[in-house]
Amino acid sequence: MEKKLSEIREQIDAIDNQILTLLNKRMELVKEVGHLKRSNNAVIYRPEREKAILDRLGKINTGPITPQAIEAIFLEIFAASRHFELPERVAYLGPEGSFTHQAAESRFGALSDYVSLSTIQAVFESVETGRVRFGVVPIENNREGSVYETIDLLISSEVRIVAEVPLDIHFTFASMEDKLSHIRKIYSKDIAFRQCKRFLDEYFGDSKVELIPVESTSKAAKLASQEPYAAAICARVAATIHKLPLLFENIEDSVYNRTRFLIISKDFNNPKAAGSKTSLVVKLDNDNKAGTLASFLNDFNEAGINLTKIESRPAKQKGKFNYWFLIDFDGHCEDESVAPVLAKHGDHIKLLGSYVKLI
């Protein structure tokens, strides 16, 4: 058996050598692309190009490697390539080990210069002032709904949406204690307690364990790593960062728990591409008049444009009850069917961006 294993390992080593050679050849071509982009002041990050590559590879793949594995491998290659072209500074809603940090690394890789910030507003301000090139913030969870702070800042700030990042949310139960009976307190974010209620009821429903909400699941992991008789409900990466042993994984009530994040930047426009979606906000005149909103939406219907989301937010104008409406729809803002509708309502619309649709 050892002889056979040795032969197989030699073949794997030879393939690894070929992969390394090909990756270096790819990076040489990336270097040329980087020179061309810099000379023409073109953007480095092109989400629609990356999606096109992943789609093409998915079509020619014959296995056994899965589409998910292909995406994970090539997203890291894309990130390393962008770093090779031009290192980018990326801000995210922290702390380190948060789900937003995971979303950022899933697109920008481990080599980018990351800035962890304590509030969503701080991320927006860092992007607006040019202290960072990109920011990553949560926009909605399919169980808990929208993140209103992000929507309000999209309305009030001068930033653009570059891309969306869907992320499956999985929680772990981690502790320095090896017996559940020793645990006296559990730290986590309030939303994590709600999304892991079934696990807590099954394992701690009859006990006097104290559930202590903190500002983030990363903070929870840090506290649990420092205190006796404590545990944390947190992301796996947070437990790893704080060297907190995992007792249980995937403890969330729903296996379909997903959060959508946005990548934002300043003065960024994605080129027209198939499979795009567009986000905008609109504040209509006479919005208290019957049919005003319906008339606006009907223009999209008549143009054959599929609206995928509409949500209202207070306009906060003195004592009035007026609203901004956040709208997502299929298509790019430069599409022939879309552009006339946007032009018609241009005075009332703030275009947030057209970007590759991943959800």
Residues 106-146 pLDDT 10s: 888 877 889 999 899 999 999 999 999 999 999 999 888 89
Crossing angle (nearest 10°) for helices 99-108 and 67-85: 70
Residues 239 and 263 in one domain: no
Q: Which residues contact 128 (CB under 8 A, 6 or more apart)?
A: 157, 158, 159, 266
Residue 261 scores a pLDDT above 80: yes
**Cα–Cα nearest to 170, from 235, 219, 217:** 235
Q: Which of 29, 58, 86 is the last residue of a domain?
A: 86
Count of domains observed in the chain: 4
pTM for the full model? 0.80
Residues 132 and 261 in one domain: yes
Q: Which of 86, 119, 145 is the last residue of a domain?
A: 86
| Residue 261 vs residue 285, higher pLDDT | 261
- pLDDT tens-place string over residues 186-212: 999 888 999 999 999 999 987 789 999
Residues 164 and 304 in one domain: no
Q: Which residues contact 252 (CB under 8 A, 6 or more apart)?
A: 169, 170, 171, 195, 196, 199
- pLDDT tens-place string over residues 36-68: 777 766 767 788 888 888 889 989 998 889 988
Nearest-angstrom CA–CA distance, 246 and 172: 7
230 touches 223 (CB < 8 A) = yes
Read out DSSP for 135-157?
EEEEEEETTTEE-HHHHHHHHHS
Residues 158 and 286 in one domain: no
Strand order in the sheet with 323-330: 307-314, 323-330, 276-282, 349-356
Token pair recorded at residue 70:
């292909």
| Residue 202: predicted pLDDT | 93
Tracing tokens 């027209």 back to the chain, one arrives at 272
- Phi then psi dihedrals of residue 309, to 5 deg: -160, 140
Q: Which burial class, exposed, middle or buried, applies to 110 when counting CB atoms under 10 A from its CB (0-12, 13-18, 19+)?
A: exposed
- Mean pLDDT on 9-37: 87
Residues 14 and 130 in one domain: no
Residues 157 and 213 in one domain: no
Q: Where are the beta strands (DSSP E) in 147-221?
A: 160-168, 172-175, 185-188, 210-213
| Residue 78: predicted pLDDT | 85
| Residue 1: predicted pLDDT | 77
Token pair recorded at residue 288:
């208290």
- Mean pLDDT on 218-239: 94
| Residue 113: predicted pLDDT | 87
Q: What is the CATH number of the domain that holds 63?
A: 1.20.59.10
331 touches 305 (CB < 8 A) = yes
Q: What is the CATH number of the domain that holds 238?
A: 3.40.190.10
Range of the domain at 108: 89-169+257-268
Residues 23 and 127 in one domain: no
- Mean pLDDT on 77-96: 81
Residues 206 and 77 in one domain: no
Residue 86 scores a pLDDT above 80: no
Residues 58 and 137 in one domain: no
| Residue 194 vs residue 85, higher pLDDT | 194
DSSP designation for 266: S
Q: Which of 63, 86, 109 is the last residue of a domain?
A: 86
| Residue 287: predicted pLDDT | 64
Among 25-34, 164-173, 266-275, 344-353, which is the least confidently predicted range?
25-34
- pLDDT tens-place string over residues 144-164: 889 999 999 999 999 999 999
Residues 69 and 140 in one domain: no
Residues 151 and 262 in one domain: yes
Residues 36 and 95 in one domain: no
